[in-house]
Structure 1
Amino acid sequence: MPSFEITRDGPVAHLRLTRPEASNALDMEFWRRFGPELKALDATGEVRALVLSGEGRNFCAGMDISVFSGGAILNTDKASDRQAFHQTARDLQETLTTLEKVRFPVIAAIQGACVGGGLDLIAACDIRLASQDAYFRIEEINIGMMADIGSLQRLPKLMPEGVVRELAYTGATLTVDRAERLGMINAVLPDAEAVVTAALDMAKRIATKAPLAISGSKAALNHARDHSVAEGLEWIAVMQGSLWSPADVMAAIQARMARTDGEFAPLSPLRPFDPAV
């Protein structure tokens, strides 16, 4: 069974974690494929929103133990080993950061367990919907290590820092109701099917908006998260001047008056730089 599958319905993509027998734990295949395949989706310019879900009872149980099989990745005896360990950690971090870098919004549809690496995964998404049975945990502290691929950096931007410290130090479970009250979860639905349906519906609504404006809004929000208000205002003024599209504005206004969806040009495809071409 592959780690995940990607399907397309027009401008909406759906990435499903497909190892329910392992609670969708993130194995080596996941880490090899995830970043490149998200970038490939983005490169088409045709995808306007992505739903990320997991099959089975649990969304994601975190890192698969097979990633550490053989022990080489954990060997830190020599200085060069520790350098290699650092690079591996950075590579894992960058894989999940791809969720922030792609030009389209990513909506996580969560059910059951979302712990360890699964929590890192959803923290990098734009929007999070969850079922009534969902729960969250910074699992790493329970196995004697720090969370190191995104939870400690992103979660304080999604809910109060004091709560994140509580979870990071105690390894306690965060219930879905508390997560919604704190703002980490956008909405709670009755079950997994309802969550995926709601996520796909939201993705379809996003896909009716001007892709350039959506992409710019995502970039602006990501920039604002890590900068002051003054810096964010200056950045978006420059960005608005760069991305202003009279055609998109007119199409949106006309569609609103006609009570229909607007017709917008897709984003331009991305091509890797090749100096030989």
Structure 2
Amino acid sequence: MIDNLDELASLRVERTGHVAEVTLLGPGKGNAMGPDFWNELPRVFRAADADPEVRAIVLTGGGEHFSYGLDLQAMLPQWSEYLGGDALAAPRTAFLDEIRRLQDAVNSIARTRKPVVAAVAGWCIGGGIDVITAADIRLASADAKFSVREVKMAIVADLGTLQRLGTIVGEGHARELAFTGRDIDAARAERIGLVNDVYPDPESMQAAARELAAEIAANPPLAVQGAKEVLGVNTQDQVEAGQRYVSTWNAAFLPSKDLSEAVQAFMERREPEFTGE
């Protein structure tokens, strides 16, 4: 049950009545997604799914930002054997398994039978977009900014954004965001349908997310869960097929000179120079 979860490092879980609130905690001010996050996220959402006392979930970020996305500094060292230029079939197969493990963590949000309301303040980048597109409803404060940033790191986004975003905002907007990696503000996110509503500040946005979750939780739970399951049938197979394809693609093609240049430039806080190698 969700109330029995303990020893969480990257997430905080609280329940008020029939609403569970899951908060990203870090590390650092941007709630970057490191090893603890990827281990704990599926534990939390599977516990919420199994808990009959939980009827709706609010997913939010602690501090000023929702998430800066994948914690490259924490994750890259354990991926070094996968990404080396001489990596052959065995390490690439292991990397395929790793990508699918991270996909499964994000998918735990979509698979829970309880509706999930994502409440976004500040930055929501890369892996943060994967997470909120797996939610059912998204709200934002006026200071929120969004970026499908992977392309700027020489990465094909592989944890669900490319499979879910088009359904949410339409193919044209999804392709623009995925191809450019540009930042968009909350006003544009609302115009294209990435978020349902924008609120003046994080406090009013959080209050609205809790009120919406409580309104959902007040309805007959099995009917709500049934509606979510029926709605999910429309896209579930497409998402799963797309994730299988992109995980295979990245296991084969992710290692590149451009990726190394992107990481080096990130560490050195300079603009990268990509060569297409």
Same fold per superposition (TM over 0.5): yes
Deviation at 1:73, TM superposition (A): 4.7
| Equivalent residue, structure 2, for 1:57 | 64
Give SS of 1:158's match.
Answer: helix
Match of residue 83 from structure 2? 74
CA positional deviation for 1:171: 1.1
Counterparts of 1:259-270 in structure 2 under 5 Å? none
* 1:5–1:15 contact (8 Å) kept in structure 2: yes
Q: Percent identity?
A: 40
Deviation of the 1:145 alpha carbon: 1.1
What's the CA shift string for 1:234-265, capped at 9, x where partnerless? xxxxxxxxxxxxxxxxxxxxxxxxxxxxxxxx
1:149 alignment counterpart: 159
Q: Which has the larger radius of gyration?
A: 1
Distance, in Å, in 2 between the alignment partners of 1:131 and 1:73 is 39
**Residues 1:46 and 2:56 are matched in the alignment:** no
Shift of 1:159: 0.7
Matched residues, number: 228
Counterpart secondary structure, 2:143: coil
Residue in structure 2 matching 1:174, options 184, 191, 208:
184
1:86-125 matches, cutoff 5 A? 86-125=96-135
Residue in structure 2 matched with residue 7 of structure 1 by the alignment: 14
> Are the equivalent residues in 2 in contact too, given 1:47–1:104 (CA < 8 A)?
yes
| Kept after mapping to 1: 8 A contact 2:19/2:56 | yes
Q: For the structure 1 residues 46 and 67, does the alpha-carbon distance in structure 2 shift closer, same or farther, using more than 3 Å as the test?
A: same
Query: What is the identity, as a one-letter code, of the residue corresponding to 1:8?
Result: R
CA 1:109 to 1:57, structure 2 compared with 1: closer, same or farther past 3 Å? same
> Shift of the alpha carbon at 1:75?
4.3
CA distance in 1, matches of 2:211, 2:32: 26
Pair 1:87–1:131, CA change in 2 (3 A): same
Match for residue 42 of structure 2?
A: 35
> In the alignment, is the contact (CA less than 8 A) between 1:20 and 1:56 conserved in 2?
no
Structure-1 residue corresponding to 2:217: 207
5+ residue gaps, structure 1: 229-277
Cα 1:226–1:28 change in 2 (3 A) is closer
In 1, Cα distance between the equivalents of 2:76 and 2:172? Answer: 31
Change (3 A) 1:171 1:86: same
SS state of the match for residue 69, structure 1? helix
Amino acid at match of 2:24: L
Q: CA RMSD in A?
A: 1.7
Cα deviation, residue 2, structure 1: 2.2
Greater CA deviation, 207-216 or 74-83?
Answer: 74-83
Give the conservation status (yes or no) of the 8 Å contact 1:75–1:82. no
Matched-pair contact (CA < 8 Å) for 2:148–2:177: yes
Gaps of 5+ in 2: 1-7, 239-277
- Work out which of the residue numbers 198, 202, 216 in structure 1 matches 2:208: 198
Deviation at 1:156, TM superposition (A): 0.3
Measure the CA separation in 1 of the matches of 2:185 and 2:118: 17
Which residue of structure 1 lines up, in the alignment, with residue 234 of structure 2?
Answer: 224
Equivalent position amino acid for 1:112 in 2: G
Determine the structure 1 residue equivalent to 2:31: 24
Cα deviation for residue 21 of structure 1 reads: 2.6
**TM-aligned CA deviation for residue 41 of structure 1:** 1.9
Query: How far is the alpha carbon of 1:87 from its aligned partner?
Result: 1.0
